[in-house]
């Protein structure tokens, strides 16, 4: 069930224009396997990936978001998943230090972009995959661990940003990044609160307890929607760009007064990523 108790009075949702970074998948393919979604033997279609990505880009522009682009680099097929490129809050960009060697060159490439764009760059000492595992909700950073980002990096994030960091442990390899298991629905507070959606089975018991306590009104997404990375979505507080096939999540969002917008990123799903993976928040 996704509703708790009695019907709530309707909340007026408000879209806030966002500034994001994206990377066109000109060199996208699946040539190695670092998550269960990836199968290097299965064919990929780079032109189709670009066409699907372009729809996401156009959707953001149509919603009034300010979309910046980083140049894709040949030989870095996962660079399209810009969320992993860093974690940017208050004009400060904490760089990524990737778990697997195949993606490690992306860290410096994104840090160069942040510097050139005028962000104050914090070079990481600890393994982390940026906003894939670090989600800002209000003043708090929800920080994933278990598959990629280390708990030592959670401490580093707390030091760099002077914010509370809440560690959450992921237990299912299909949901290896926090942004595959949690969607932040309210980038700004609504009536003093910010809500999330999540997949309960993706977390260990202690983390679940934390989530239930902090987010009693959260949308609980079902396994079918999560299994197509439906949670890997991007909200401006009203419009929520989601995987078009996540029809249950779409209905849950509508019931809460959000405006879900479906896109098809089936080709990028072959690399284990969806809408949010392709989107890095740039918060000045």
Phi and psi angles of residue 242, each rounded to the nearest 5 degrees, phi first: -130, 170
The only residue of 53, 57, 81, 249 in contact with ligand ARG, by rule CB under 6 A: 81
Active-site annotation holder among 23, 27, 154, 277: 277
Of 131, 57, 50, the residue nearest 94 (C-alpha): 131
Q: Is 156 in the site for ligand ARG (CB under 6 A)?
A: no
Q: Is 195 in the site for ligand ARG (CB under 6 A)?
A: no
CA atoms of 269 and 48, how far apart (whole Å): 12
Torsion 195-200-204-206 (CA) sign: positive
Going from the C-alpha of 79 to that of each of 15, 25, 131, 271, the distances in angstroms are 28, 7, 14, 11
Active-site annotation holder among 65, 154, 177, 278: 177
Active site residue 277: yes
Q: Which is nearer to ligand ARG, 237 or 272 (CB)?
A: 272
Q: Is 234 in the site for ligand ARG (CB under 6 A)?
A: no
Q: Which is nearer to ligand ARG, 79 or 122 (CB)?
A: 79
The only residue of 49, 234, 272, 275 in contact with ligand ARG, by rule CB under 6 A: 272
95: left (phi over 0), alpha (psi -120 to 50) or beta: beta
Q: Is 132 in the site for ligand ARG (CB under 6 A)?
A: yes
* Cross-strand pairs, 122: 94
Interface map 98-127 toward ligand ARG (x if CB under 6 A):
-----x------------------------
Q: Is 207 in the site for ligand ARG (CB under 6 A)?
A: no
The only residue of 84, 153, 194, 239 in contact with ligand ARG, by rule CB under 6 A: 84
Active site residue 154: no
* Cross-strand pairs, 165: 141
* Least distance CB 245 / ligand ARG (angstroms): 17
Q: Give the angle 197-67-234 at the CA atoms, nearest 5°.
A: 10
Active site residues: 177, 277
């Amino acid at each position: 069930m996704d509703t708790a108790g009695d019907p709530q009075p309707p909340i007026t949702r408000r879209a806030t224009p966002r500034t994001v970074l994206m990377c066109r998948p000109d060199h996208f393919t699946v040539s190695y396997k670092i998550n269960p979604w990836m199968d290097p033997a299965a064919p990929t279609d780079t032109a189709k990936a670009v066409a699907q990505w372009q729809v996401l880009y156009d959707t953001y522009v149509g919603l009034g978001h300010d979309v910046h682009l980083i140049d894709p680099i040949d030989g870095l097929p996962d660079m399209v998943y810009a969320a992993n490129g860093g974690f940017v809050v208050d004009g400060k960009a904490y760089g990524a230090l990737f778990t697997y060697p195949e993606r490690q060159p992306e860290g410096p490439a994104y840090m160069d972009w942040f510097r050139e764009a005028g962000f104050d760059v914090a070079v990481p000492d600890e393994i982390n995959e940026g906003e894939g595992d670090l989600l800002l909700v209000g003043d708090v950073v929800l920080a994933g661990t278990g598959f990629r980002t280390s708990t030592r990096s959670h401490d580093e994030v707390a030091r760099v940003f002077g914010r509370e960091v809440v560690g959450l442990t992921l237990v299912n390899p299909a949901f290896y990044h926090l942004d595959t298991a949690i969607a932040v629905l309210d980038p700004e507070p609504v009536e003093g609160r910010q809500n999330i959606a999540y997949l309960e089975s993706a977390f260990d018991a202690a983390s679940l307890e934390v989530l239930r306590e902090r987010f009693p009104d959260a949308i609980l997404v079902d396994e079918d929607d999560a299994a197509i990375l439906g949670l890997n979505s991007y909200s401006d507080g009203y419009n929520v760009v989601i995987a078009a096939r996540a029809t249950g999540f779409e209905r849950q969002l509508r019931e809460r007064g959000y405006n879900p917008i479906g896109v098809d990123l089936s080709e990028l799903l072959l690399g284990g990523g969806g809408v949010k993976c392709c989107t890095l928040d740039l918060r000045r």
